[in-house]
Amino acid sequence: MSPPEEPPALAAAIAHAAARLGAAGIADPAVDAELLAAFVLGLGRGGVQASAIRGDRIAAADAERLEELVTRRATREPLQHITGTAPFRHLELRVGPGVFVPRPETELVAQLAIDALRAAASESPIAVDLGTGSGAIALAMATEVPHARVFAAENSVEAFLWTKENFAMVGADNARLAFIDLAHAFPELDGTVSVVASNPPYVPDAAIPRDPEVRFFDPPAALYGGEDGLDVVRVLSGVGLRLAHPGGMIIIEHGEWQGQAIRELLAADGWRAAATHPDLTMRDRATTALRP
């Protein structure tokens, strides 16, 4: 009898997965291969890297499972849909079909909001996240500024299912979630809010997102914002003026080409000191303004 076939080396399995993902056009194939292996093995990415360096082998069943997941990722299904989670600052959020996957660039919006809340002249400042999606911005504010009160609004049924799950999982007792139309959100807070934050849909209707992960998997309602991409931004400006107290801040994420248009829109509505902020890649990513 021939000896049983030895299980494949983890390093070789990862290299093979990375080669397949690279051929499919994945931007960081080695990273995705390691993260998929980590998901299969129940390890962190660092644990997978250490295991591969040691020369550890991967069980045949795990190798087969990794191949299945790599096949899915090679179709450009988002990595976060496959693993069911997306990292955001210190949080791990549940995501899947029907909800926008939070991106690293949105962490800038959260940071601006957190800084404004920490600087607010109140023992218990109030923040509102309009169109919260997965709950990323709202839950970051609630957990990183525990003395604040955070209110989050979502108006998509599909997204709200994920939002509820994330709010329950994080368990921040200073955060409240509501299913409500954004234009009429939280009238009981009118004139009391220190920070109004949002990552709205801002892609112009005629634009086609470059990445298949966005084009085919993110919900259209979370992407497209009318002919110029600013339809929801116009709503946010008006709602923000209603909610914010004098000196309160609005923070809006947007595309890198939209900063000037949004500054002009906010100024025309009566906001003051509009400013656009770059993300870590030095692309304009968020615009802030103060309520007079």
**Overall average pLDDT of the 206-214 stretch:** 89
With a cut of 70, say whether residue 7 has pLDDT above it.
yes
Q: How far is CA 280 from CA 63, 68, 86, 144, in A?
A: 36, 34, 19, 20
φ/ψ (deg, to 5) at 70: -65, -40
Residue 6 pLDDT: 67
Residue 191 makes CB contacts below 8 A (sequence gap 6+) with 242, 243, 244, 245
Residue 228 pLDDT: 95
pLDDT digits (tens, 9 = 90+) for 240-250: 999 999 999 99
Q: How many CB atoms lie within 10 A of CB 5?
A: 7
Percent of the chain scored above 70 by pLDDT?
A: 98
Q: Read off the tokens for 135.
A: 């709950």
Residue 103 makes CB contacts below 8 A (sequence gap 6+) with none
Residue 67 pLDDT: 96
Residue 148 pLDDT: 98
**Overall average pLDDT of the 90-110 stretch:** 95
pLDDT digits (tens, 9 = 90+) for 117-163: 999 999 999 999 999 999 999 999 999 999 999 999 999 999 999 99
Query: CA 241, CA 225: separation in Å to the nearest integer?
Result: 20
Q: How far is CA 79 from CA 1, 51, 95, in A?
A: 42, 22, 10
Coil vs helix vs strand at 35: helix
Query: CA 99, CA 102: separation in Å to the nearest integer?
Result: 9
* Amino acid identity at 287: T
The answer to whether the CB of 213 falls within 8 A of the CB of 246 is no
pLDDT digits (tens, 9 = 90+) for 162-196: 999 999 999 999 999 999 999 999 999 999 999 99
Percent of the chain scored above 90 by pLDDT?
A: 93
**Overall average pLDDT of the 63-81 stretch:** 96
> b/e map of 21-31 (b: 16 or more CB within 10 Å)?
bbebebeebee
Written as one string, the DSSP assignment of 170-228 is H--TTEEEEE--GGG--GGGTT-EEEEEE----B-TT---SSHHHHHHS-GGGTB-STT
The answer to whether the CB of 136 falls within 8 A of the CB of 253 is no
Of 60, 44, 65, the residue nearest 52 (C-alpha): 44
The answer to whether the CB of 271 falls within 8 A of the CB of 237 is yes
Task: Kindly give the residue spans of alpha helices, DSSP state H, lying in the chain.
Answer: 10-23, 29-41, 45-54, 60-74, 79-83, 106-119, 136-144, 157-170, 212-217, 231-243, 259-269
The answer to whether the CB of 238 falls within 8 A of the CB of 185 is no
